[in-house]
Structure 1
Amino acid sequence: MIVEGDLENAQVGMVPVPESPFGRGGGRGYHDFYVAYHPDTGEDRFYGGGTGGYYIYDVSSLDDPQLRITLTGISGIQSGHTFTPSADGRYVIAESEYQYAPLRIFDLQPALEGEVTNIRSPISAVHS
Protein backbone atom coordinates (compact mmCIF):
# COMPACT_ATOMS: atom_id res chain seq x y z
CA MET A 1 0.00 0.00 0.00
CA ILE A 2 1.37 3.40 -0.96
CA VAL A 3 -0.82 5.47 1.36
CA GLU A 4 -1.68 4.59 4.93
CA GLY A 5 -4.01 6.32 7.33
CA ASP A 6 -6.36 9.03 6.04
CA LEU A 7 -7.11 7.62 2.57
CA GLU A 8 -9.97 10.08 1.98
CA ASN A 9 -7.54 13.01 1.93
CA ALA A 10 -4.60 11.27 0.23
CA GLN A 11 -5.26 12.78 -3.20
CA VAL A 12 -3.49 16.13 -3.47
CA GLY A 13 -4.39 17.05 -7.03
CA MET A 14 -5.83 15.90 -10.32
CA VAL A 15 -4.48 16.44 -13.83
CA PRO A 16 -7.22 16.42 -16.49
CA VAL A 17 -7.02 14.47 -19.74
CA PRO A 18 -8.08 16.67 -22.65
CA GLU A 19 -10.81 15.35 -24.93
CA SER A 20 -9.64 14.09 -28.29
CA PRO A 21 -11.11 12.26 -31.29
CA PHE A 22 -9.94 9.06 -29.54
CA GLY A 23 -11.59 9.71 -26.19
CA ARG A 24 -14.41 11.81 -24.81
CA GLY A 25 -16.24 11.77 -21.53
CA GLY A 26 -15.24 9.21 -18.91
CA GLY A 27 -13.26 6.96 -21.25
CA ARG A 28 -10.06 9.02 -21.04
CA GLY A 29 -6.98 8.41 -18.94
CA TYR A 30 -3.20 8.30 -18.68
CA HIS A 31 -1.12 5.15 -19.04
CA ASP A 32 2.17 6.47 -17.69
CA PHE A 33 3.21 9.80 -16.30
CA TYR A 34 6.27 11.56 -14.93
CA VAL A 35 6.50 14.70 -12.77
CA ALA A 36 9.67 16.77 -12.48
CA TYR A 37 10.90 20.21 -11.54
CA HIS A 38 11.94 22.31 -14.55
CA PRO A 39 14.76 24.60 -13.35
CA ASP A 40 14.69 26.99 -16.34
CA THR A 41 11.10 28.05 -15.63
CA GLY A 42 10.65 27.13 -11.97
CA GLU A 43 7.67 24.95 -12.94
CA ASP A 44 6.75 21.51 -11.71
CA ARG A 45 5.85 19.70 -14.92
CA PHE A 46 3.62 16.70 -15.51
CA TYR A 47 4.40 14.60 -18.60
CA GLY A 48 1.57 12.16 -19.36
CA GLY A 49 0.94 9.66 -22.12
CA GLY A 50 -2.68 8.73 -22.58
CA THR A 51 -5.82 9.06 -24.62
CA GLY A 52 -5.12 10.89 -27.87
CA GLY A 53 -1.39 11.41 -27.37
CA TYR A 54 0.93 13.08 -24.87
CA TYR A 55 0.39 16.09 -22.61
CA ILE A 56 2.57 18.45 -20.59
CA TYR A 57 1.07 20.44 -17.72
CA ASP A 58 2.49 22.98 -15.31
CA VAL A 59 1.42 21.48 -11.98
CA SER A 60 3.16 24.04 -9.75
CA SER A 61 -0.30 24.87 -8.39
CA LEU A 62 -1.95 21.52 -7.65
CA ASP A 63 -5.35 23.21 -7.50
CA ASP A 64 -4.98 24.65 -11.01
CA PRO A 65 -2.86 22.56 -13.44
CA GLN A 66 -2.17 24.47 -16.68
CA LEU A 67 -1.90 22.63 -20.00
CA ARG A 68 1.33 23.84 -21.63
CA ILE A 69 1.99 21.54 -24.59
CA THR A 70 0.12 18.80 -26.42
CA LEU A 71 1.52 16.18 -28.75
CA THR A 72 -1.56 14.98 -30.62
CA GLY A 73 -2.47 14.15 -34.19
CA ILE A 74 0.71 12.08 -34.43
CA SER A 75 0.64 9.53 -37.23
CA GLY A 76 0.00 6.07 -35.75
CA ILE A 77 -0.83 7.27 -32.21
CA GLN A 78 -4.30 6.88 -30.74
CA SER A 79 -3.08 6.58 -27.18
CA GLY A 80 0.25 7.57 -25.69
CA HIS A 81 2.22 5.28 -23.43
CA THR A 82 5.54 6.05 -21.77
CA PHE A 83 6.61 9.71 -22.09
CA THR A 84 10.04 10.78 -20.81
CA PRO A 85 11.66 14.25 -21.02
CA SER A 86 15.35 15.04 -21.34
CA ALA A 87 16.99 16.56 -18.27
CA ASP A 88 16.58 20.08 -19.70
CA GLY A 89 12.95 19.50 -20.77
CA ARG A 90 13.59 20.36 -24.42
CA TYR A 91 13.22 16.86 -25.85
CA VAL A 92 10.86 14.00 -25.06
CA ILE A 93 10.89 10.34 -25.94
CA ALA A 94 7.41 9.02 -26.65
CA GLU A 95 6.53 5.35 -26.67
CA SER A 96 3.41 3.53 -27.79
CA GLU A 97 2.40 -0.11 -27.47
CA TYR A 98 1.64 -1.53 -30.86
CA GLN A 99 3.80 -4.18 -32.48
CA TYR A 100 6.98 -2.79 -34.04
CA ALA A 101 6.22 0.73 -32.82
CA PRO A 102 9.28 2.99 -32.96
CA LEU A 103 10.42 5.24 -30.13
CA ARG A 104 9.63 8.76 -31.27
CA ILE A 105 11.77 11.72 -30.28
CA PHE A 106 10.22 15.19 -30.26
CA ASP A 107 11.81 18.64 -29.95
CA LEU A 108 9.58 20.81 -27.73
CA GLN A 109 11.48 24.05 -28.39
CA PRO A 110 8.84 25.57 -30.74
CA ALA A 111 6.20 25.08 -28.03
CA LEU A 112 8.50 26.19 -25.21
CA GLU A 113 9.12 29.44 -27.12
CA GLY A 114 5.38 29.98 -27.62
CA GLU A 115 5.42 29.50 -31.40
CA VAL A 116 2.98 26.55 -31.25
CA THR A 117 0.96 24.70 -28.59
CA ASN A 118 0.79 21.31 -30.34
CA ILE A 119 3.62 19.28 -31.83
CA ARG A 120 2.76 16.35 -34.08
CA SER A 121 5.95 15.49 -35.97
CA PRO A 122 8.88 13.69 -34.35
CA ILE A 123 12.42 14.73 -35.20
CA SER A 124 13.50 11.10 -35.11
CA ALA A 125 12.14 7.60 -34.65
CA VAL A 126 14.23 4.69 -33.45
CA HIS A 127 13.32 1.10 -34.19
CA SER A 128 15.35 -1.96 -33.26
Structure 2
Amino acid sequence: MTEKLPYGTADASFQAAGEYEGIKQLVDDFYTVMSSIPEAKTIRDMHPDNLEESRDKLTRFLCGWLGGPKLYSEKYGAIRIPVAHRHLDIGPAERDAWLACMQIAVDKQSYHADFKDYLMKQLYVPAERSRNKD
Protein backbone atom coordinates (compact mmCIF):
# COMPACT_ATOMS: atom_id res chain seq x y z
CA MET A 1 0.00 0.00 0.00
CA THR A 2 1.33 3.42 -0.98
CA GLU A 3 1.34 6.04 1.76
CA LYS A 4 -0.49 9.24 0.85
CA LEU A 5 1.78 12.31 0.85
CA PRO A 6 0.68 15.40 2.79
CA TYR A 7 -0.89 18.22 0.77
CA GLY A 8 1.77 20.59 -0.48
CA THR A 9 4.27 17.74 -0.95
CA ALA A 10 5.26 16.72 -4.50
CA ASP A 11 2.02 16.45 -6.51
CA ALA A 12 -0.28 15.46 -3.60
CA SER A 13 -2.40 18.64 -3.90
CA PHE A 14 -2.61 18.30 -7.69
CA GLN A 15 -3.81 14.71 -7.22
CA ALA A 16 -6.31 15.71 -4.49
CA ALA A 17 -7.76 18.36 -6.82
CA GLY A 18 -8.43 15.76 -9.51
CA GLU A 19 -5.43 16.62 -11.66
CA TYR A 20 -6.01 18.74 -14.78
CA GLU A 21 -9.67 17.80 -15.28
CA GLY A 22 -10.56 18.38 -11.64
CA ILE A 23 -8.83 21.75 -11.61
CA LYS A 24 -10.50 22.72 -14.88
CA GLN A 25 -13.88 21.91 -13.31
CA LEU A 26 -13.01 24.02 -10.26
CA VAL A 27 -12.05 26.95 -12.48
CA ASP A 28 -15.18 26.60 -14.62
CA ASP A 29 -17.31 26.63 -11.46
CA PHE A 30 -15.33 29.59 -10.12
CA TYR A 31 -15.98 31.73 -13.20
CA THR A 32 -19.64 30.68 -13.28
CA VAL A 33 -20.00 31.87 -9.68
CA MET A 34 -18.09 35.08 -10.38
CA SER A 35 -20.40 35.81 -13.30
CA SER A 36 -23.55 35.18 -11.28
CA ILE A 37 -23.27 36.66 -7.79
CA PRO A 38 -23.71 40.41 -7.26
CA GLU A 39 -20.85 40.57 -4.71
CA ALA A 40 -18.43 39.67 -7.51
CA LYS A 41 -19.53 42.29 -10.07
CA THR A 42 -16.44 44.45 -9.50
CA ILE A 43 -14.00 41.61 -10.07
CA ARG A 44 -16.02 40.18 -12.97
CA ASP A 45 -15.81 43.58 -14.64
CA MET A 46 -11.99 43.34 -14.44
CA HIS A 47 -12.15 40.40 -16.86
CA PRO A 48 -12.91 40.34 -20.57
CA ASP A 49 -16.44 39.43 -21.68
CA ASN A 50 -15.10 36.17 -23.12
CA LEU A 51 -13.55 34.23 -20.25
CA GLU A 52 -11.93 31.49 -22.35
CA GLU A 53 -8.35 32.76 -21.90
CA SER A 54 -8.95 33.65 -18.23
CA ARG A 55 -10.19 30.11 -17.59
CA ASP A 56 -7.21 28.63 -19.40
CA LYS A 57 -4.71 30.79 -17.52
CA LEU A 58 -6.16 30.06 -14.09
CA THR A 59 -6.44 26.33 -14.80
CA ARG A 60 -2.86 26.17 -16.01
CA PHE A 61 -1.59 28.29 -13.10
CA LEU A 62 -3.36 26.14 -10.51
CA CYS A 63 -2.02 22.93 -12.05
CA GLY A 64 1.57 24.02 -11.48
CA TRP A 65 0.85 25.82 -8.21
CA LEU A 66 -0.65 22.62 -6.80
CA GLY A 67 2.44 20.60 -7.69
CA GLY A 68 1.43 19.31 -11.10
CA PRO A 69 2.85 20.14 -14.51
CA LYS A 70 3.88 23.76 -15.09
CA LEU A 71 1.31 24.29 -17.84
CA TYR A 72 1.05 28.06 -17.39
CA SER A 73 4.72 28.72 -18.06
CA GLU A 74 4.72 26.28 -20.99
CA LYS A 75 2.11 28.40 -22.77
CA TYR A 76 2.34 31.91 -21.31
CA GLY A 77 5.80 32.14 -19.75
CA ALA A 78 6.70 32.83 -16.14
CA ILE A 79 4.11 34.43 -13.91
CA ARG A 80 4.68 36.88 -11.12
CA ILE A 81 1.33 37.37 -9.43
CA PRO A 82 1.78 41.02 -8.35
CA VAL A 83 3.06 42.06 -11.78
CA ALA A 84 0.28 40.21 -13.60
CA HIS A 85 -2.36 42.09 -11.60
CA ARG A 86 -0.80 45.53 -11.12
CA HIS A 87 -2.92 47.11 -13.86
CA LEU A 88 -6.04 46.36 -11.77
CA ASP A 89 -7.26 48.09 -8.62
CA ILE A 90 -7.33 45.19 -6.16
CA GLY A 91 -7.93 45.95 -2.51
CA PRO A 92 -9.20 43.85 0.37
CA ALA A 93 -12.79 43.92 -0.96
CA GLU A 94 -11.75 42.57 -4.37
CA ARG A 95 -9.48 39.97 -2.78
CA ASP A 96 -12.30 38.85 -0.52
CA ALA A 97 -14.80 38.72 -3.39
CA TRP A 98 -12.37 36.50 -5.35
CA LEU A 99 -11.96 34.23 -2.32
CA ALA A 100 -15.74 34.10 -1.78
CA CYS A 101 -16.24 32.95 -5.37
CA MET A 102 -13.49 30.39 -4.96
CA GLN A 103 -15.01 29.12 -1.70
CA ILE A 104 -18.34 28.49 -3.42
CA ALA A 105 -16.56 26.76 -6.31
CA VAL A 106 -14.42 24.65 -3.94
CA ASP A 107 -17.52 23.64 -2.00
CA LYS A 108 -19.07 22.32 -5.25
CA GLN A 109 -16.16 19.91 -5.80
CA SER A 110 -16.04 16.36 -4.48
CA TYR A 111 -12.74 17.03 -2.70
CA HIS A 112 -12.14 15.69 0.79
CA ALA A 113 -13.15 18.23 3.45
CA ASP A 114 -9.58 18.50 4.74
CA PHE A 115 -8.33 19.32 1.24
CA LYS A 116 -11.02 21.97 0.79
CA ASP A 117 -9.86 23.64 4.01
CA TYR A 118 -6.20 23.34 3.03
CA LEU A 119 -6.85 24.70 -0.46
CA MET A 120 -8.74 27.77 0.74
CA LYS A 121 -6.00 28.60 3.25
CA GLN A 122 -3.39 28.29 0.50
CA LEU A 123 -5.41 30.32 -2.02
CA TYR A 124 -5.37 33.28 0.35
CA VAL A 125 -1.66 33.71 -0.49
CA PRO A 126 -1.95 34.45 -4.24
CA ALA A 127 -5.17 36.38 -3.59
CA GLU A 128 -3.36 38.62 -1.13
CA ARG A 129 -0.32 38.93 -3.42
CA SER A 130 -2.66 40.25 -6.13
CA ARG A 131 -3.77 43.07 -3.85
CA ASN A 132 -2.19 46.40 -4.72
CA LYS A 133 -4.23 48.94 -2.76
CA ASP A 134 -5.54 49.30 0.79
TM-score by shorter chain over 0.5:
no
Give TM-score, length-normalised by structure 2: 0.28
Which of 1 and 2 has higher RCO (CA within 8 Å, sep 6+)? 2
Q: Name the one with the larger strand percent.
A: 1
Give TM-score, length-normalised by structure 1: 0.29
Q: Name the one with the larger helix percent.
A: 2
